[in-house]
């Protein structure tokens, strides 16, 4: 007789799990079908992100410059200390030879003084601490021992100082390498973004920058021409603005000379860590320009910001003054008049004139060197 058992029904729990899984699958499939593909950033979005990366690269560049400056200073200090130690060791050897000569003379005359013999076989520091022994020495021997003791202490201190500076140098070299990698990473990321643009979009960006640079240059040269004309009593008021306009009349002689030197570098490429004459970063340009005027200023923008007399107001700036931007002072240029700055802007650009309003960060203050 056939069995008519009812088929086993799925449990309520199993039904619930299956139903939930099916619903999730349907929702996922629906979402995948309706999700729009990630949109490619447009030209302006790419430019904004690239500008941000370039700014971060410049911040890292100034830290790189600072580490490089410290490295060079430490290397010079270590070299000086090592030279001093070498000379000191020679002097110490001569002092010891002199005391040995005393011992030889005493030996030839009948035997070495026990005090001198003791010195020759012991540390002079330990020996001189025994005050009773000093009574056994001649004044000449006492003086020789004291000089040896003093020289040994001096050499020990210098060697200790050199060891500390060598540790600082090692740490600085590590920092230098880290900052270099950071800069290169930012530049690579920026280039990858630019590579996402079409050739037409890249050309459009380049054209925009060129137009902005030409406008700023005309305004800056016009301001320089007006300043020069005003200073000479208006004799050249009708003269057209040109790159030969002398701006130095509105600032100190060395500021004008520095500005003129920088003018001659318009179009020179920005390269991080570069101080000229064929490439520059921002503080590399300003330190080079003032160097041409016979003035040695610090290497980094942060150090330059406190080098001379501070000028707080844009209205009080004179052509050739140093001008600083961003809260951390990581960017510097030369004031060009009429709200313009002559500077090495950032990676991917060249030395150029630019409105202070378009630098990308706030004007902090100026410095008159």
Spatial CA neighbour of 259 closest among 220, 314, 315, 298: 220
pLDDT in the model for residue 26: 43
pLDDT of residue 360: 85
Whole-number percent of the chain with pLDDT over 90: 33
CB atoms within 10 A of CB 198: 10
Beta strand pairing call for 352-355 and 340-343:
antiparallel
pLDDT at 326: 93
Distance CA 143, CA 93 (A): 15
Q: What is the distance, to the nearest Å, from the Cα of residue 62 to the centroid of all Cα atoms in its chain?
A: 3
- Active centre residues (catalytic): 282, 331, 343
Strands across the sheet with 352-355, in order? 309-311, 363-368, 322-325, 331-337, 340-343, 352-355
d(CA 55, CA 277): 23
Rg (CA), the chain: 37
Buried b (16+ CB within 10 A) or exposed e, 206-228: eeebeeebeebbebbbbbbbbbb
**How far apart are alpha carbons 254 and 320 in whole angstroms?**
8
Domain ranges of the chain: 44-195, 203-225+247-368
**What are the structure tokens assigned to 346, written together?**
């950032």
3-state secondary structure of 341: strand
β-sheet bridge partners, residue 310: 367
DSSP 8-state symbol, 354: E
Residue 261's nearest CA partner among 241, 276, 250, 273 is 276
Please work out, in degrees rounded to the nearest 5, the angle formed at the alpha carbon of residue 362 by the alpha carbons of 342 and 291: 35
**Dist. CA 187–CA 196, nearest whole Å:** 15
At residue 18, φ and ψ (nearest 5 deg) are -65, -40
Tell whether domain 203-225+247-368 is in CATH 3.90.1720.10.
Answer: yes
Which own/partner contact pairs does 253-256 have at CB distance under 8 Å and 24+ positions apart? 254/290, 254/293, 254/294, 254/295, 254/320, 254/369, 255/293, 255/318, 255/319, 255/320, 255/321, 255/368, 255/369, 256/319, 256/320
pLDDT value at position 220? 64
The pLDDT of residue 124: 56
pLDDT of amino acid 22: 45
Contacts 24+ apart (CB under 8 A), 88-97: 88/151, 88/154, 88/155, 88/158, 89/155, 91/151, 92/148, 92/151, 92/152, 92/155, 95/144, 95/147, 95/148, 95/151, 96/148
Alpha-carbon distance values, 238 to 15, 235, 333 (Å): 93, 8, 29
pTM here is 0.61
Cis peptide before 277, with omega less than 30 degrees from 0? yes
* Backbone φ and ψ of 123, nearest 5°: -70, 125
| Average pLDDT, 10 consecutive residues per value, the chain (369 residues) | 50 44 46 54 85 87 90 91 89 78 56 52 54 55 78 87 89 88 88 89 82 68 59 40 37 87 95 94 97 95 94 95 95 95 91 92 95
pLDDT for 209-242, tens place per residue?
A: 777 767 666 666 665 566 555 544 443 333 333 3
CB 55 within 8 A of CB 181: no
Residues contacting residue 364 through CB under 8 Å, at least 6 positions apart: 305, 324, 325, 326, 327, 329
Q: Which residue has the tokens 């540390």?
A: 123
């Amino acid at each position: 007789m056939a069995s008519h058992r009812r088929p086993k029904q799925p449990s309520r729990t199993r039904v619930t799990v299956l139903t939930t899984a099916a619903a999730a699958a349907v929702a996922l499939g629906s979402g995948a079908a309706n999700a729009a593909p990630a949109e490619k950033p447009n030209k302006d979005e790419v430019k904004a992100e690239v500008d941000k990366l370039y700014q971060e690269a410049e911040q890292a560049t100034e830290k790189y410059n600072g580490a490089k400056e410290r490295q060079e200073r430490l290397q010079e200090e270590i070299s000086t200390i090592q030279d001093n130690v070498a000379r000191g060791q020679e002097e110490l050897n001569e002092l010891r030879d002199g005391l040995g000569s005393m011992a030889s003379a005493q030996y030839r005359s009948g035997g070495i003084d026990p005090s001198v013999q003791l010195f020759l076989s012991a540390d002079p520091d330990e020996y001189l601490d025994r005050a009773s022994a000093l009574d056994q020495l001649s004044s000449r021997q006492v003086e020789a021992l004291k000089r040896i003791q003093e020289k040994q202490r001096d050499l020990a201190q210098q060697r200790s100082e050199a060891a500390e500076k060598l540790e600082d140098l090692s740490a600085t070299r590590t920092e230098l390498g880290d900052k270099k990698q950071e800069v290169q990473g930012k530049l690579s990321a920026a280039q990858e973004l630019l590579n996402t643009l079409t050739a037409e979009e890249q050309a459009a960006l380049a054209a925009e920058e060129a137009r902005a640079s030409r406008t700023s240059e005309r305004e800056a040269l016009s301001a320089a021409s007006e300043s020069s004309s005003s200073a000479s009593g208006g004799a050249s008021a009708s003269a057209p603005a040109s790159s030969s306009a002398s701006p130095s009349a509105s600032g100190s002689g060395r500021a004008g000379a520095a500005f003129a030197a920088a003018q001659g570098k318009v179009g020179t490429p920005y390269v991080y860590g570069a101080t000229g004459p064929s490439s520059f970063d921002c503080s590399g340009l300003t330190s080079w320009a003032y160097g041409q005027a016979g003035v040695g200023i610090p290497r980094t923008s942060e150090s330059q910001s406190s080098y001379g007399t501070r000028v707080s107001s844009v209205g009080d700036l004179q052509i050739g003054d140093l001008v600083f931007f961003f809260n951390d002072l990581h960017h510097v240029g030369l004031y060009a008049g009429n709200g313009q700055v002559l500077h090495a802007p950032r990676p991917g650009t060249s030395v150029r004139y630019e409105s202070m309003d378009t630098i990308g960060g706030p004007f902090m203050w100026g410095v008159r060197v």
